[in-house]
């Protein structure tokens, strides 16, 4: 069904944007200032660099196994990976933004009047 596929494409895109912005925010909030640039460059490499590799892998799998089996297999691998991470790091189950506090030296920069020409 065409409209059902469009709905799932929209939901997938929304999930991808949510995951990327959340991951980006978590990294920038939890990484020391001196390492932030290096860590963010690795994050960008992993997110943007592995996407073409995954496209080649999943495209090849879809050619031989069919799209339904490929999507089911990828979903199973993703669920197993998430389960493994939660099993290995149980403290992530209770991680939340409510626990974060603003640093003591947080200042609000001054606002400047708009330039008028």
- Whether 36 contacts 28, CB under 8 Å: yes
Distance CA 59, CA 44 (A): 23
Q: Residue 105: pLDDT band by 50, 70, 90 thresholds?
A: low
Residue 99 lies in a domain: no
Residue 10 lies in a domain: yes
Residue 94 lies in a domain: no
Residue 96 lies in a domain: no
- Structural domain span for residue 85: 2-89
Residue 102 lies in a domain: no
**Structural domains in the chain (count):** 1
Q: What is the pLDDT of residue 62?
A: 93
| ∠ Cα 25 86 55 (to 5°) | 65
Residue 100 lies in a domain: no
Lookup result for tokens 């990327």: 20
pTM, 2 dp: 0.56
The 10s digit of each residue's pLDDT in 6-35 is 999 999 999 989 988 988 888 888 888 888
Residue 61 lies in a domain: yes
Lookup result for tokens 């065409």: 2
**Phi/psi-derived region of residue 66, left when phi > 0, alpha when psi is between -120 and 50, beta in every other case:** left
Residue 14 lies in a domain: yes
The 10s digit of each residue's pLDDT in 51-103 is 889 899 999 999 999 999 999 999 999 999 999 999 998 887 776 655 566 66
């Amino acid at each position: 069904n065409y409209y059902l596929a469009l709905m799932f494409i929209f939901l997938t895109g929304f999930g991808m944007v949510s995951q990327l912005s959340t991951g980006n925010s978590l990294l920038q909030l939890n990484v020391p200032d001196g390492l932030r640039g290096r860590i963010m460059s690795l994050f960008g490499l992993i997110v943007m660099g592995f996407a073409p590799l995954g496209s080649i892998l999943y495209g090849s799998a879809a050619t031989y196994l069919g799209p339904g089996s490929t999507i089911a297999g990828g979903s199973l691998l993703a669920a197993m990976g998430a389960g493994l991470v939660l099993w290995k790091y149980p403290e992530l189950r209770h991680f939340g933004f409510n626990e974060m506090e603003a640093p003591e030296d947080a200042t609000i920069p001054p606002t400047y009047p708009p330039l008028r020409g």
